[in-house]
Structure 1
Amino acid sequence: MNLFNDINTVYFLGIGGIGMSALARLFNHQGLRVAGYDRTPSEITRQLLNEGILVHYEDLGSEISSIVSSPGKTLVVYTPAVPAEHKELDWLKQNKFTIVKRARILGILCSQYQCLAVAGTHGKTTVSTMAATIMSGSSKKCGAILGGISKNFHSNLVLPDNDIKWMITEADEFDRSFLQLSPDIAVITSIDADHLDIYSTVDQIIYSFNEFIGKIRPEGTLLINEKISGKVETQEVKTYTYSLNGNSDFKTENLRLDEVNRCYSFQLCTPGGKTAEITMQYPGLINVENAVAAGAAAWLAGTGLHELRVGIESYLGVKRRFDIRYRGRNTIYIDDYAHHPEELKAFITSVRKLFPAQKITGIFQPHLYTRTRDFADEFASSLDLLDTVLILPIYAARENPIEGVSSAILAEKMKNADHHIVEKSAIMKFIKENPTRVLLTMGAGDIDLLSDEIIETIKHEEKA
């Protein structure tokens, strides 16, 4: 069976995931019948329904036969997050359907283009989305399969035109998915300990990134953050480095912060000395470094400096990545996907640089019992950068509870005296009774579902 030529139906197990939904949209745009299962309704599944994609939320088992076509005409796509005992998955296996991991499908799709793949334990969503913004508005053009909802495209998919040559995607290290890609340009933003349920040691993570580097196509290019260039083996591939202000191939000069709009201006320096003068409208010092990476990747793909500048300056951001949800008279509220200690540290530090004299309150929802257990000390250290901290119960996601692991282990290790373990139901009352200049929500679970209510609570208090 040719995976794409012989099918009329694509069925997704876990269709509401950010990566799965992008592929669902792509196949739907190509005229195939697309349907899928997810555990719970979400904004993404509601959008998919509006786009004509059939979504259901019950494990139908054999009843799925009324939705899928024959085994020879249906492609089933799943992620490692789908449990092995899932009844639909079991029925599809028994009936000899072609069942393929999302990572393999992504690899096949990207092999049809020149591929720009952004890897790294942190930063890949912002860098890939920014690179897509730059290149889609340039003479190079591109399609993109993204890990977040771009505010420029209002989607996690940039539809490829018939004449495009480049496809941009995230290269996810979870479950070693990125080893299905063979990029022409590979970007590595960061390598930190994470996913220790998959990689038992940091050395195993580094080994996997070295394998990813080995997947770069002949005559391809590696772009790597200067801070981690010594961690991996780059001798066999043409390599460029980038940094905020280091001794690297791509970097910034004359970096300055506008005290009025709280955004940065800088010169982006390229090899050979040519520069682009850039004023970002997307805030955060960490995002200046991300802009250097995205600009460098686009430049290596052939984008001109003027196009690069226009693209970065027009970049509006990604939902849940340094996402300023509300800017009021007394309070600014920012939501972020940060769920790893290094991400929290980078996010909070960037916010602190924008508001150095202001009180900052953070609401954090830990993600995964294993991650909370494995990085408890590091989480506590990062959360201590805040003035006041509210810690929600752990969001389990794909895991079962682990005895002795709860949000309390973070609180016990924190040195900041003003921290509280709270349920979601207590948050609005806390916001009303404890005014703050800067409010942050952080986490990869469902904490973002509180955002609208938080905004309404802040507005009500500002009117009072």
Structure 2
Amino acid sequence: MDLKKIHNIYFIGIGGIGMSAIARYFKASGKQVSGYDKTQTDITNSLQDLGITVCFEDAMANVEGCYLDSESTLVVYTPAVPKSHLQLTYFKNNGFTVLKRSEILGLITEHTFCLAVAGTHGKTTTTSILGHLLNECNVKLTAFLGGISENYNSNLILNGDKVSVVEADEFDRSFLTLSPDMACITSMDADHLDIYGDASELIKTFEDFTRKLKPNGKLFVKNGLPLNGITYGIEDDADYTAQNIRIENGAYVFDVKTPETVLKDFKFNLPGRHNLSNALVALAMSIEYGISGPQLVAALASYLGVKRRFTYQIKTDDLVFIDDYAHHPEEINAVHQAVREMYPKDKVVAVFQPHLFSRTKDFAVEFGKSLSQFDEVILLDIYPARELPIEGVTSEWLLSLIDNENKKLVSKTDLISSIKQSSAKIVLTIGAGDIGVEVAKIKKALINED
């Protein structure tokens, strides 16, 4: 497909974090952009502020109002949209070119030098670090992020078309539409078993992804993964290693051992060894691309993070409120490690909203163990997203698997009062559902309490 011949682009699910980045890209490219989403959010509001038409009702009148025709219009949809969606069905039955988000991302990046970040955890943070490093070092790039960068207040970094940085999503095998020049794999823990069936099939698909690299492409893999490539690790025997790690004024300071030399005194402001690992592979990819050590030292020090990735909402001597997107047991373990490293003597209350019935069912025991590590646990009902309930899979069941006397299940209505009843200094909200909508309310209530 020649995207230059496309004038109109309609997005079904335009408010999604990945979809909205592509919508911003095409709007900046001079295309007529419009779309549908079921819910009005800060993201859809920001798209409308750019002049993008967004409708919130699955009705044909909305489509017809966008003056779309099959010859000059491309339709992009997210796999999260049900197949029965009225607009999606209309476009498929009336001669329109209809592509998944991952397919259009493959088309956008195929003629660029593409750096792709894959893995069941760490994709968004790693992609945003990598995009920031290259942008700060004056590389002409476009970076599509799976979260809102604190540095750019956007999920798109747009500074040229020579290089592309993309989050390579394993959900629905989406990343197999990419053909990167460089790629990294941060992790391959079992996830999305509603798609893959079992962990072995997920690993096989990651192996398929490695074969999508262009000739002479470079693959970076976290040390210990069963893949061949340039390895990286924290204080590890790997090609790229973070060593001499210390904490100064709440930030990591560390050296990077490369295959040729040691680069000293990098400063990184995000807590947690998992985030340090993400920074390390972003540095490794940047070095292999050709960026010098001194440039990268300055660039990393200015990195501020991604919203809802260990984001401080309140940070005082008496109270700390942190919000994080963690929705898998290993991600919760990583957040726990980060909190304990930064606040080893303080009491922590974790507020968790499970995401998806299938994920809760598949990892219930692991969720129980990861949540049991906190001093207190407040559990919300499962956020269904695209799924229907599964019999017996409830938050009451998950609560019974948490080995902690200080645990309770609450409704959103009672959430703030339950948090206020806690004596914990550290309040942590975690989950990938609409718990993020509650964060501003919690913050306001806690500040007013002070």
| Cross-structure match for 2:284 | 296
In the alignment, structure 1 residue 417 sits paired with structure 2 residue 417: no
In the alignment, structure 1 residue 82 sits paired with structure 2 residue 72: no
Q: Is the 8 A contact 1:242 1:249 kept in 2?
A: yes
Q: Is the 8 A contact 2:176 2:212 kept in 1?
A: yes
Greater alpha carbon shift after TM alignment, 271-280 vs 144-153: 271-280
Matched residue type, 1:173: E
Instruction: For residue 219 of structure 1, give the secondary structure of its aligned residue in structure 2.
Output: coil
Inter-CA distance 117–311: structure 2 relative to 1 (3 Å threshold) = same
In the alignment, structure 1 residue 178 sits paired with structure 2 residue 168: no
Percent of matched pairs sharing the same residue: 43
Deviation of residue 201 (structure 1)? 1.0
Post-superposition Cα deviations, 1:231-288, rounded to whole Å, max 9, x if no partner, equal 23x3xxxx21001111001111211112xx3221111121112313112222223211
Greater alpha carbon shift after TM alignment, 310-319 vs 64-73: 64-73
| Cross-structure match for 2:156 | 157
Equivalents in 2 of 1:364, 1:448: separation in Å? 11
Q: Is the 8 A contact 1:263 1:284 kept in 2?
A: no
Deviation of residue 150 (structure 1)? 0.6
Equivalents in 1 of 2:233, 2:180: separation in Å? 22
- The structure 2 residue matched to 1:227, chosen from 219, 224, 227, is 224
In the alignment, structure 1 residue 107 sits paired with structure 2 residue 106: yes
Deviation of residue 142 (structure 1)? 2.1
In the alignment, structure 1 residue 255 sits paired with structure 2 residue 255: no
Matched residue type, 1:178: F
Equivalents in 1 of 2:431, 2:242: separation in Å? 30
Greater alpha carbon shift after TM alignment, 288-297 vs 274-283: 274-283
Instruction: For residue 393 of structure 1, give the secondary structure of its aligned residue in structure 2.
Output: coil
Inter-CA distance 438–63: structure 2 relative to 1 (3 Å threshold) = closer
| Cross-structure match for 2:204 | 207
Equivalents in 2 of 1:411, 1:324: separation in Å? 27
Matched residue type, 2:38: R
Equivalents in 2 of 1:88, 1:42: separation in Å? 20
In the alignment, structure 1 residue 348 sits paired with structure 2 residue 336: yes
Matched residue type, 1:344: I
Equivalents in 1 of 2:441, 2:62: separation in Å? 38
| Cross-structure match for 1:241 | 231
| Cross-structure match for 1:33 | 32
Matched residue type, 1:17: G
Equivalents in 2 of 1:142, 1:31: separation in Å? 18
| Cross-structure match for 1:51 | 50
Q: Is the 8 A contact 1:282 1:317 kept in 2?
A: yes
- The structure 1 residue matched to 2:417, chosen from 425, 429, 437, is 429
Post-superposition Cα deviations, 1:119-175, rounded to whole Å, max 9, x if no partner, equal 0000011011001111001143422011011111111101142xx521100000000
In the alignment, structure 1 residue 273 sits paired with structure 2 residue 270: no
Q: Is the 8 A contact 1:394 1:407 kept in 2?
A: yes
Post-superposition Cα deviations, 1:98-138, rounded to whole Å, max 9, x if no partner, equal 11111010011111200000000000110110011110011
Deviating runs (4+, > 6 A) in structure 1? none
Q: Is the 8 A contact 1:118 1:170 kept in 2?
A: yes
Deviation of residue 63 (structure 1)? 4.9
Q: Is the 8 A contact 2:355 2:384 kept in 1?
A: yes
In the alignment, structure 1 residue 448 sits paired with structure 2 residue 447: no
Equivalents in 2 of 1:240, 1:407: separation in Å? 41
- The structure 2 residue matched to 1:308, chosen from 296, 301, 308, is 296
Greater alpha carbon shift after TM alignment, 134-143 vs 307-316: 134-143
In the alignment, structure 1 residue 380 sits paired with structure 2 residue 368: yes
In the alignment, structure 1 residue 191 sits paired with structure 2 residue 181: no
Greater alpha carbon shift after TM alignment, 277-286 vs 87-96: 277-286
Post-superposition Cα deviations, 1:374-420, rounded to whole Å, max 9, x if no partner, equal 10000000001110001100000010111111111211111111111
Q: TM-score, normalised by structure 2?
A: 0.98
Where in structure 2 are there 5+ consecutive unaligned residues? none
Equivalents in 2 of 1:343, 1:281: separation in Å? 19
Matched residue type, 1:107: G
Q: Is the 8 A contact 1:62 1:91 kept in 2?
A: no
Instruction: For residue 197 of structure 1, give the secondary structure of its aligned residue in structure 2.
Output: helix
What is the alpha-carbon root mean square deviation over aligned residues? 1.2
Inter-CA distance 78–68: structure 2 relative to 1 (3 Å threshold) = farther
Q: TM-score, normalised by structure 1?
A: 0.95
Deviation of residue 3 (structure 1)? 4.3
Where in structure 1 are there 5+ consecutive unaligned residues? none
Equivalents in 2 of 1:68, 1:378: separation in Å? 50
Instruction: For residue 137 of structure 2, give the secondary structure of its aligned residue in structure 1.
Output: coil
Q: Is the 8 A contact 1:338 1:443 kept in 2?
A: yes
Give the count of matched residue pairs: 450
Instruction: For residue 71 of structure 1, give the secondary structure of its aligned residue in structure 2.
Output: coil
Q: Is the 8 A contact 2:13 2:36 kept in 1?
A: yes
Post-superposition Cα deviations, 1:324-347, rounded to whole Å, max 9, x if no partner, equal 111134111110000001101111
Q: Is the 8 A contact 1:366 1:372 kept in 2?
A: yes
Equivalents in 2 of 1:415, 1:285: separation in Å? 25
Q: Is the 8 A contact 1:339 1:444 kept in 2?
A: yes
Equivalents in 2 of 1:226, 1:292: separation in Å? 12
Equivalents in 2 of 1:436, 1:48: separation in Å? 38
Instruction: For residue 5 of structure 1, give the secondary structure of its aligned residue in structure 2.
Output: helix
Instruction: For residue 299 of structure 1, give the secondary structure of its aligned residue in structure 2.
Output: helix
| Cross-structure match for 1:130 | 129
Instruction: For residue 131 of structure 1, give the secondary structure of its aligned residue in structure 2.
Output: helix
Equivalents in 1 of 2:316, 2:35: separation in Å? 40
Equivalents in 2 of 1:122, 1:6: separation in Å? 37
Inter-CA distance 68–99: structure 2 relative to 1 (3 Å threshold) = farther
Matched residue type, 1:196: L
